[in-house]
Amino acid sequence: MADTSADVIFSGGTVHTVDPARPRAEAVAVRGERIVAVGATDAMMPLRGPRTRVVDLRAGTLLPGFQDAHVHPIGGGVDRLACDVRDIHPRSAVIDAIRAYADARPDASWIVGSGWYMGDFPGGTPRREDLDAAVPDRPAFLPNRDGHTAWVNSRALELAGIDRVTPDPADGRIERDPDGTPSGCLHEGAADLVERLMPPTTEDEWAEGLRIGQAYLHSLGITAWQDAIVHPNNLATYRRAAAEGWLTARVEAALWWERERGDEQIEEFAAASRALAADAGRLRANSVKLMVDGVLETFTGSMLEPYLGPDGRPTANRGIDFLDPAALGGHVARIDAAGLQPHFHAIGDRAVRNALDAVAAARAANGRSDTRPHISHIQVIHPADIPRFAALDVVANAQPLWACHETNMDELTIPFLGPERSRWQYPFGSLLRAGARLAMGSDWSVSSPNPLEEIEVAVTRVAPESRGRARAFFPDERLTLEEAIAAFTIGSAFVNHLDAETGSITIGKLADFAVVDRDVFDRESGAIGEARVIATFVGGHAVFEDPALGS
């Protein structure tokens, strides 16, 4: 007789399924890669055989694995190999850390790092002299945490030939002193003037970055993600990981739309997508990333109305459209017609509108497709555009950790938007009430990839660092815990075209789980962001396990 016993049974805690047909259960059984039973603990006993592993949830919560709908795992991993100043504050400590890193590497021809926080520097823009003090002898290049601004030293500016007469490139801006001298920050495309001179990252370094990034994301309960910027070299990294058998996450790759090029790219994307479809495994490349604008902190986010100046009066600046709005609809219609998913970066209200208009053009040309367009970041949405997400079936891809009062928001954003537009930021509650689908992601390494911290902010609109002290950031836009967990599981699974197979704990679906160390629905159990993931399973196999879990 065939062995019908389960390979793994999870019991001893709460199962939050994200399946409306059975929201809660006590236990789950898995055979092979799939869920074979969900229900009461007693009901699992007939499935328990001599080789069945029983995982005791220890009064914790079993959730569907988190899916990060917008993340940069390879770059995030590589950042951890270089001079990573993400957790270092204030300014003086950042400079000391860079100096120590450089001093420890006398043979490095460049000093490369990342992760500084704009709020640590006056006006959000550090100066070249500060970096010269840490690295006087070699070029140094450090993008900030969001990757939209690079801090460079005098040696790097010299090498790139950037001086007071160098014009700003069309897709970026050189930060300058009043006399035009570059002061040390290069925004958006201006950073390429230096970056193109740097020694390229090697294939092995990319692979090491992916190993580090994947292990880190698994340790946070993440089982699948959409990589939001994949160039051909990083697609090769993923393919290598898949071929060598160590790609344990399910990955959707968003292939990078080069803004200097046109529709001829679409056939290349489609070819890359087809090549993977043959032996897909856990890797797919069905998405195309379109960067519509920049960010508000550097006034490169594309706005319908001008930014305000320091005096509170409108300036002449409405930000930058990286992609010509008149051409965007045509590109998106052809991406959609090729069966590929448009994944937009849109921060400002004009960028969000341009993206929605482009999907409207695609819908008009192609009818309703199943490519599932999504707009990431959605920082400022004009109220008139909120119902369009549901009407056009565009997924709102939220990075909830940003929806709180912190220095970037209070000092570098709100004063330049003014009160009315400030209220339009991150309107997640309004989007859900208007019937929009919501997905969630971290944008790591821009910010923490811990889904439990992100979910906490989606629910409280208060940063974990100022928990219990700060006021909520436009509290009408808070979500319930159930809504936030659904966005981070089934919502992101929808974006990844994985919702038929993952995203909820449902019989027949793949056994992708996160085990959390407490009942997150118990109000007595503390802040959600303080909870910890103690095990992560993909297809029934543990990809992360806290030794404390035992067996």
Confirm if 221 and 516 have CB atoms less than 8 A apart. yes
Separation CA 200–CA 190 (nearest Å) = 18
Binding stretches for Zn ion (CB under 5 A): 228, 443
Closer Cβ to Zn ion, 443 or 483, answer by number = 443
* Omega before 445 within 30 of 0, i.e. cis: yes
Chain center to CA of 333:
25
Tell me how many degrees the CA angle 207-209-210 measures, rounded to the nearest 5: 65
Chain center to CA of 480:
21
Rounded to a whole number of angstroms, the minimum distance from the CB of residue 445 to Zn ion is: 9
Characterize 291-328 residue by residue with b for buried, 16 or more Cβ atoms within 10 angstroms of its Cβ, and e for exposed. Answer: bbbbbbbbbbbbbbeebbeeeeeeeeebbbbbbebeeb
Confirm if 185 and 168 have CB atoms less than 8 A apart. no
Closer Cβ to Zn ion, 8 or 210, answer by number = 210
For residue 540, give the DSSP letter: T
Burial class of residue 519 (count of CB atoms within 10 Å of its CB; 0-12, 13-18, 19+): middle
Rounded to a whole number of angstroms, the minimum distance from the CB of residue 72 to Zn ion is: 6
Confirm if 449 and 218 have CB atoms less than 8 A apart. no
Confirm if 113 and 85 have CB atoms less than 8 A apart. yes
Separation CA 130–CA 143 (nearest Å) = 15
Between helix 232-244 and helix 203-219 the angle, nearest 10°, is 70
DSSP-assigned states of every residue in 390-430: HHHT-EEEE-GGGSS--HHHHHHTHHHH-HHHHTTBS-HHH
Rounded to a whole number of angstroms, the minimum distance from the CB of residue 446 to Zn ion is: 6
To the nearest 10°, report the CA torsion of 378, 379, 382, 383.
Answer: 80
Closer Cβ to Zn ion, 11 or 226, answer by number = 226
Rounded to a whole number of angstroms, the minimum distance from the CB of residue 146 to Zn ion is: 8
Rounded to a whole number of angstroms, the minimum distance from the CB of residue 448 to Zn ion is: 14
Closer Cβ to Zn ion, 14 or 287, answer by number = 287
Closer Cβ to Zn ion, 443 or 501, answer by number = 443
Closer Cβ to Zn ion, 66 or 513, answer by number = 66
Closer Cβ to Zn ion, 217 or 228, answer by number = 228
Closer Cβ to Zn ion, 68 or 512, answer by number = 68
- Look at residues 297, 294, 290 and name the one whose alpha carbon lies nearest to residue 334: 290
Confirm if 478 and 55 have CB atoms less than 8 A apart. no
Rounded to a whole number of angstroms, the minimum distance from the CB of residue 443 to Zn ion is: 4
Rounded to a whole number of angstroms, the minimum distance from the CB of residue 408 to Zn ion is: 16
The H or E element spanning position 214 is helix 203-219
Closer Cβ to Zn ion, 406 or 443, answer by number = 443
Confirm if 198 and 210 have CB atoms less than 8 A apart. no
User: Three-state SS across 49-98?
Assistant: CCCCEEEECCCCEEEECEEEEEECHHHHHHHHHCEECCCCCCHHHHHHHH
Rounded to a whole number of angstroms, the minimum distance from the CB of residue 237 to Zn ion is: 17
Closer Cβ to Zn ion, 349 or 443, answer by number = 443
Rounded to a whole number of angstroms, the minimum distance from the CB of residue 343 to Zn ion is: 10
User: For 173, phi and psi rounded to 5 degrees?
Assistant: -150, 135
Rounded to a whole number of angstroms, the minimum distance from the CB of residue 444 to Zn ion is: 9
Rounded to a whole number of angstroms, the minimum distance from the CB of residue 148 to Zn ion is: 10
Rounded to a whole number of angstroms, the minimum distance from the CB of residue 84 to Zn ion is: 17
Rounded to a whole number of angstroms, the minimum distance from the CB of residue 67 to Zn ion is: 15
Separation CA 537–CA 502 (nearest Å) = 12
The first and second tokens of residue 212, run together, are 């580090």
Confirm if 343 and 228 have CB atoms less than 8 A apart. yes
Closer Cβ to Zn ion, 11 or 234, answer by number = 234
- Strand duo 66-71 + 438-440: pairing: unpaired
Closer Cβ to Zn ion, 219 or 399, answer by number = 399
Rounded to a whole number of angstroms, the minimum distance from the CB of residue 304 to Zn ion is: 23
Closer Cβ to Zn ion, 322 or 537, answer by number = 322
Maximum CA extent, the chain: 85
- Look at residues 205, 199, 183 and name the one whose alpha carbon lies nearest to residue 128: 183
Closer Cβ to Zn ion, 343 or 518, answer by number = 343
